[in-house]
Amino acid sequence: MDVSPLQVRTLPTAPYADQKPGTSGLRKKTYVFETKQDYLQNFIQSVFSSIDLRDRQGSTLVIGGDGRYLNKSAIEVIVQMAAANGIGRLVIGQNGVMSTPAVSCVIRKIKAIGGIILTASHNPAGPSGDFGIKFNISNGGPAPEAVTDNIFQISKTLEEYAICPDLRVDLSTIGKQSFDLENKFKPFTVEIVDPVESYANMLRNIFDFSVLKEMLSGPNHIKIRLDAMHGVVGPYVKKILCEELGSPANSAINCVPKEDFGGHHADPNLTYAADLVETMKGGEYDFGAAFDGDGDRNMILGKHSFFVNPSDSVAVIAANIFSIPYFQQTGVRGLARSMPTSGALDNVAKATKIQLHETPTGWKSFGNLMDAGKLSLCGEESFGTGSDHIREKDGLWTVLAWLSILATRKQSVEEIMKDHWQKYGRNFFTRYDYEEVDADAAYKMISDLEAVMSDKSFIGQKFSVGEKMYQVQKADNFEYSDPVDGSVSRNQGLRIIFTDGSRIIFRLSGTGSAGATIRLYIDSYEKDPQKMYQDTQDMLAPLVDIALKISQLHQKTGCSGPTVVM
């Protein structure tokens, strides 16, 4: 197919100095769709310019998105620009759709130099929703700081971008399309692939599908309910859980990806997945799960909506890890959680003598540890769990991990969770989000708090609420030295650690799209079996009081309470 010559177009004169392009590596602006003219073109040209010209011809990039509004039109522009920039080959999910875990899987499988993911993750979609662009590198994970900084530097001075404006790609037909370009770069190929196939194949090699099939469709099958929330994961659920593992069609709902996620907020938590929670309360289903827009997050529920806290979820998987055949082959190289995630995983690591890593929020540090062979399983409190099978968190993998545990233990979700607490103790955990806070007030509150915490007299201070008394043992701003590349990440969150191990953590979100989001995390360990089943909010109320008192959060930001409690 012949296309018109490459064009070089001028970008708006004002450089993008104030906008770090939104890769997840550049977390500050990840999900903000900048409305400045040609933002997409600037971002993509900066990514391509960061790849040495000599390497582009022989290279392959994987492209996919979560199907939200602008997904397809953005991919059409990316294809035109890839051609003009001399990229040899693109592999794209059919109709431009591919889940984040699947992109990671395909990058690794075909040894691509990286991938571009069009997603704003768990944030709302549609014409008035969010949009984002992510750049992943050849290990299948989010680009590290060194790469994103380079892209950012390029973006600041970029004046032009290259494009083949007449190149028309057919995103709907599976197969190869070749384009002869009237320039020195040729041929340019685009391969449209089934977005589910490689990913499903990977899962077949990780889990025992015959055991899962028996549990989901055999004579004594359990009943499950999976809510794809009109995000990208619907076709994966249908193909893998329903077609292949035999779960009836009505066990999977909201499976057609929509540009606006059906007007819902595709974020799997008790607030936004309320429909699933309601349905599960009825007791008809034994197991439930919901996913976010791009398929990397998950929420696990048991019968009657028994909620599995994500920090507990990764701990349970760790404690039962050999229910998953993959780990029988690889062994367990290490466990990891992000700093604000509860210490539930630490209890398992301690008991099993497996090395535990505590990393900054986000998936990048996990990827480094995995590449270095130091990490097998990891998770975050924000509904993310995953393993070294790819370099992103993985919602559907987590569901199959839980189902494998259910199959091995022949117990319900609730029984498994309660047994776990009896054995390891329970970490009560909650997160308060204060969204759309005035940014200046939020930064000031955090810096004032850091000043209070840095005062020598703060260590040893006692705080009492009712009968409860907590004494400060340690207070700092979390810092992480990456044991693999030696990089140091500072200012990762303020931690107040008490003598009984309870923790209060404050940090500013890196993914919000309006104002600032303050996150307050509370984590408290309990080993008294009598108190094990108490209500989380009741148990943690004294620590919440102390956190608000020390930080003066409400007074300093004008907030009267959190917008979301998890």
Residues assigned a catalytic role: 121
Residue 442 CB, shortest distance to ligand G16, in Å, is 13
Q: Is the CB of residue 358 less than 8 Å from the CB of residue 476?
A: no
Residue 394 CB, shortest distance to ligand G16, in Å, is 11
Q: Which of 320, 509, 513, 551 binds ligand G16 (CB under 6 A)?
A: 509
Contacts to ligand G16 from residues 516-555, by CB under 6 A: 519
Sheet of strand 224-227, all strands in order from the earlier edge strand to the far edge: 252-253, 224-227, 287-291, 298-302, 306-308
How many C-beta atoms lie closer than 10 Å to residue 159's C-beta? 12
Q: Is the CB of residue 326 less than 8 Å from the CB of residue 206?
A: yes
Which residue lies nearer to ligand G16 by CB, 363 or 428?
363
- Per CB under 6 A, 382 contacts ligand G16: yes
Which residue lies nearer to ligand G16 by CB, 89 or 297?
297
Contacts to ligand G16 from residues 173-212, by CB under 6 A: none
Which residue lies nearer to ligand G16 by CB, 167 or 370?
370
Nearest-CA neighbor of 343 among 503, 479, 540?
A: 503
Task: Tell me how many residues contact ligand G16 (CB under 6 A).
Answer: 15
Q: Is the CB of residue 538 less than 8 Å from the CB of residue 409?
A: no
Q: Is the CB of residue 497 less than 8 Å from the CB of residue 516?
A: no
Residue 361 CB, shortest distance to ligand G16, in Å, is 5
- 310-319 and 395-409 helices, crossing angle to 10°: 50
Site string for ligand G16, 471-500 (x = CB under 6 A): ------------------------------
Stretch that binds ligand G16, among 63-71, 152-160, 169-177, 359-367 (CB under 6 A): 359-367
Distance CA 499, CA 472 (A): 6
What are the beta bridge partners of residue 290?
227, 299
Identify the three-state secondary structure at position 287.
strand
Which residue lies nearer to ligand G16 by CB, 286 or 296?
296
- Per CB under 6 A, 231 contacts ligand G16: no
Residue 223 CB, shortest distance to ligand G16, in Å, is 28
Residue 443 CB, shortest distance to ligand G16, in Å, is 15
Which residue lies nearer to ligand G16 by CB, 86 or 493?
493
- Per CB under 6 A, 511 contacts ligand G16: yes
Three-state helix/strand/coil letters over 275-309? HHHHHHHCCCCCEEEEECCCCCEEEEEEHHHEEEC
Q: What angle do CA 214, 219, 225 make, to 5 degrees?
A: 65
Nearest-CA neighbor of 155 among 32, 7, 65, 48?
A: 48
Which residue lies nearer to ligand G16 by CB, 97 or 171?
97
Which residue lies nearer to ligand G16 by CB, 161 or 478?
478
How many C-beta atoms lie closer than 10 Å to residue 161's C-beta? 24
Residue 121 CB, shortest distance to ligand G16, in Å, is 3
Q: How far from each other are the two terminal CA atoms of the chain, in whole angstroms?
A: 53
Residue 404 CB, shortest distance to ligand G16, in Å, is 23
Give me the residue label for tokens 């984002």. Answer: 132
Contacts to ligand G16 from residues 282-311, by CB under 6 A: 296-297
Stretch that binds ligand G16, among 211-219, 438-446, 462-470, 509-517 (CB under 6 A): 509-517
Distance CA 413, CA 301 (A): 8
Contacts to ligand G16 from residues 72-131, by CB under 6 A: 121-122
Strands (E) in 331-406, as ranges, are: 335-338, 356-359, 377-380, 384-387
Contacts to ligand G16 from residues 312-351, by CB under 6 A: 338
By CB under 6 A, name the binding residues for ligand G16.
121-122, 296-297, 338, 361-363, 380, 382, 384, 509-511, 519
